[in-house]
Structure 1
Amino acid sequence: MGIRKTAIIDMGTNTFHLLLVHLSVDNFETIFKEKIPVKIGQGGISRNTITPDAQKRAIHTLQHFKNLIDGEGIQEIYAFATSAVRNADNGQDFVQIIKELIDIDVKVIDGEQEAHLIYEGIRFSGSLNGDTNLMMDIGGGSVEFIIGNDQEAFWKQSFEIGGQRMLDLFHYHDPILPEEVEKLTDFLGEKLIDLVYAISKFKPTGFVGASGTFDTLSDMYYAALHQSKTNRENVFQLPKEEFEIIAEKLLTLNKEARLKIPGMIPMRVDMIVVASCLITYILRFVPVETLICSNYALKEGVIAQLIKKHSLWENTILKENQ
Structure 2
Amino acid sequence: MELSTANPAVPVSGSRRAVIDVGTNSVKLLVADVQNGMALPVAEASHQTRLGEGLFRLHLLQPQAIARTVDAVVDFVQQSRSLGAEALRIYATSAAREAANRNELSDALKAATGLALEIISAEMEAEWAFLGVLSHPDFAGQDFLLLDLGGGSAQFIVGAAGHARFQASYPLGCVRWLEKTHLSDPPTPQEKEDCGHRLRTFMAAAVQPAIQPHLSPALQWVGIGGTATILGRMELGMTGFEREKLENLRLPAEALRQWRDRLWAMPLARRRQVPGLPPNRADVILMGTAIFAEVMELFHFKELRLSTRGPRFGALLTL
TM-score normalized by structure 1? 0.87
Letter in 2 for 1:157: A
Give the Cα separation in 2 of the matches to 1:243 and 1:54.
32
Q: Does 1:110 align with 2:124?
A: no
Whether the 8 Å CA contact 2:126–2:155 is kept in 1: the answer is yes
1:243 is matched with which residue?
256
Letter in 2 for 1:237: R
2:210 is matched with which residue?
198
Equivalence map 1:215-294=2 (5 Å): 215-223=229-237, 230-232=242-244, 235=247, 236-294=249-307
Give the Cα separation in 2 of the matches to 1:168 and 1:29.
37
- Report the count of equivalent residues: 304
Give the Cα separation in 1 of the matches to 2:83 and 2:140.
36
Equivalent of 2:134, from 113, 117, 123? Answer: 123
Decide which moves more: 79-88 or 236-245.
236-245
1:97 is matched with which residue?
108
Instruction: Map Cα deviations across residues 272-305 of structure 1 (whole Å, 9 max, x no partner).
Output: 1111111111112223221101111110122333
Q: Percent identity?
A: 24
Give the Cα separation in 2 of the matches to 1:168 and 1:230.
31
In the TM superposition, residue 73 of structure 1 has moved relative to its aligned partner by: 4.1
Task: Identify unmatched segments of 5+ residues in structure 1.
Answer: 307-322
Secondary structure, counterpart of 2:135 in structure 1 = helix
Equivalence map 1:74-93=2 (5 Å): 74-93=85-104
Instruction: Map Cα deviations across residues 207-252 of structure 1 (whole Å, 9 max, x no partner).
Output: 11013111110111111xx898744456232111111111111110
Give the Cα separation in 2 of the matches to 1:160 and 1:154.
21
Q: Does 1:212 align with 2:223?
A: no
Letter in 2 for 1:200: Q
Give the Cα separation in 1 of the matches to 2:96 and 2:252.
35
Letter in 2 for 1:146: I
Q: Does 1:303 align with 2:299?
A: no
TM-score normalized by structure 2? 0.88
Secondary structure, counterpart of 2:250 in structure 1 = strand
Decide which moves more: 194-203 or 125-134.
125-134
Aligned CA RMSD, in angstroms, stands at: 2.2
Give the Cα separation in 1 of the matches to 2:244 and 2:129.
20
Secondary structure, counterpart of 2:169 in structure 1 = strand
Whether the 8 Å CA contact 1:8–1:79 is kept in 2: the answer is yes
Instruction: Map Cα deviations across residues 2-27 of structure 1 (whole Å, 9 max, x no partner).
Output: 65221100001111011112222322
Give the Cα separation in 2 of the matches to 1:214 and 1:18.
18
Decide which moves more: 92-101 or 290-299.
92-101
Whether the 8 Å CA contact 2:96–2:119 is kept in 1: the answer is yes
2:33 is matched with which residue?
22
Whether the 8 Å CA contact 1:216–1:268 is kept in 2: the answer is no
Residues 136/180 of structure 1: CA separation in 2 closer, same or farther (3 Å cut):
same
Letter in 1 for 2:40: E
Whether the 8 Å CA contact 2:32–2:42 is kept in 1: the answer is yes
Secondary structure, counterpart of 2:151 in structure 1 = coil
Q: Does 1:70 align with 2:81?
A: yes
Secondary structure, counterpart of 1:105 in structure 2 = coil
Whether the 8 Å CA contact 2:222–2:306 is kept in 1: the answer is yes
Task: Identify unmatched segments of 5+ residues in structure 2.
Answer: 1-11
